[in-house]
Structures are given as C-alpha cells and as structure tokens.
Amino acid sequence: MVEVVAVLNQKGGSGKTTTAVNLAVGLALKGKKILLVDFDPQGNATTSLGLMKREMDNTMRDVLYGKCDIEEAVLETEHNGLSLIPANIKLSGIEAYLNAQTAPIAVLNNKLKNIKENYDYVFIDSPPTLNIIATNVLTASDSVLIPIQAEPFALEGMVDLLEVIDIVAEDLNSPTEIKGVLLTKFKPKTKLGREVKAEVQKYFEEELYSTEIPENIRVAEAPGYNKPVISYDPDCTGTKAYLKLTEEFLKRDE
C-alpha cells in the first residue's frame, strides 16, 4: 500500500529538498517505485534530478490549474524507479488559486488520488512556509518527515509546525504520523552539535532517526551540478549517510 510522505520544515536551509531527493533516490536503488512531487516554486528538487525547470511543458502548476492531467506531468528520471512531477517559478502565487477553490486544502490530494497507488512511496517536497500550500501538502500526506538543521535555535518554529499538523489532522479526522525527524548539517565533534542533538532528542524522543546527515561539502555541491549527492559522489560521507537513512526508513516500515 502506498504511503505519501511530506518533507516539511518552514525554516529555510533545513536540508528539506536535499533529503527528499536523496531519500527518493536511495529507495529507488532498493527497488521501490517512487514518485517525487516538487511542490516548491523554487523547483530545486526538479533541477537536482537533472531536469531543466524552465523548459517544462507540464508542471505542478499545470496539474493544479487543470491544464493537463496529472499523468501527463509525470517524468521519468535517470534513476530507475524514480518519477518526478516537476515545478518551477510559475507555481508562485498559487495560494490565491487554491483559496478560491471549493475545498482549498484538498486540491493536491484530489489530484494525487488518480496516480498514487502506482507507487510504493510518494514524497512531496514542500516550500518553507506554513500557508495554504503547506496545508495542501499535509492533507495529501499520510506522514511527515521533518529535517532539522543542527544549528542554534534548531527547534524554533517547531511548535507552529506541529500545531498546523494537528489542525489539519483534526479537520480530516485522521492523525498525521510524524514519520521521522532528521538532523542535517550535523557536526558531531562540536559542542554545539552535541547540544542541538540533545535538545532535539528531548523534543522528539521516539521520532528522531539515529542516522544523522553530516555537514559535507559534497552534499552542498551536488545540487549545483544538478545531481543528488548519491550520484555526484557515491563514496562521500553524505552519500553514506543518506543510504543509511534509506535503510533506517525502510526498517521502520517493517
């Protein structure tokens, strides 16, 4: 049975898109059939998979506006088993359109219903915001994966995020599971890194993954070359961490 996972944090720089892309690639390498939905106007998930976002004929915006069927927007990537619905800057300003609909928070969910059963997992890369776009993502999702950058004030805004998750779950009369919490850009040898980890551990005792994504230059470089780090440098510590996360992600589903 398919699981739709929102990758969400309203703080920029959390490693949200990097995590969505590399976990999707890692699961595809494990033989899972994956759909990644780029729901961020920046379109970074799209370019990270080697696709030129400005040249797309059918994007997430076209799907929402009914200009194409969702099936027509699905692109196959160079990673066997991984498909993508792309996004670009044209998705900006979609809030007004969503708010004008009869069921504003359910637009994305209603579109995904047509194809999600074709996959093992659907990941939605959400923009760093808690507006109508985020509530659409949550309404369409079964669970949420929250990347948190290991930095001062790492948990800032978490109360707001969890409150929005609870509100959407209450409106739908269906609890949204916190799939997991992931520390990114982690420096285990620093005092700050250890303190942030302890703080996040206290807040998310059961949800925190044992895998941490280290601060790694290859992880930072890879998007600039339109590649996930798993492809860009298969032997770097960042790749090893994301492959370890893939194993832990699957183990939690056993």
Is the confidence at residue 53, as pLDDT, over 80?
no
What CATH number does residue 167 fall under? 3.40.50.300
- Angle (deg, nearest 10), helices 132-140 and 158-172: 60
What is the domain extent for residue 139? 3-252
Give the Cα separation of 23 and 249 in Å (integer): 9
Give the Cα separation of 83 and 74 in Å (integer): 6
How much of the chain exceeds pLDDT 90, in percent? 69
Q: How many helices (H) and strands (E) does the chain have?
A: 12, 8
pLDDT reported for residue 62? 95
Q: Of the given ranges (188-202, 204-218, 224-238), which has the lowest mean pLDDT?
A: 188-202
Q: Which two tokens stand for residue 84?
A: 């993508």
pLDDT reported for residue 230? 98
- When comparing pLDDT for 155 and 35, which is higher? 35
pLDDT reported for residue 130? 81
Q: What is the pLDDT of residues 100-158, one digit of tens each?
A: 999 999 999 999 998 999 999 999 999 888 889 989 999 999 999 999 988 887 777 78
pLDDT reported for residue 157? 72
How many domains does the structure of the chain reveal?
A: 1
Q: Of the given ranges (12-21, 111-120, 222-231), which has the lowest mean pLDDT?
A: 12-21
Strands (E), 33-172: 34-38, 75-76, 82-85, 121-125, 143-149
Could you please report the per-residue DSSP string of 182-215? Answer: EEEEE-TTSHHHHHHHHHHHHHSTTTEEEEEEE-
pLDDT confidence bin for 33, thresholds 50/70/90: very high
Maximum average pLDDT range among 10-24, 50-64, 128-142, 223-237 = 223-237
Task: Indicate the average pLDDT of the chain.
Answer: 92
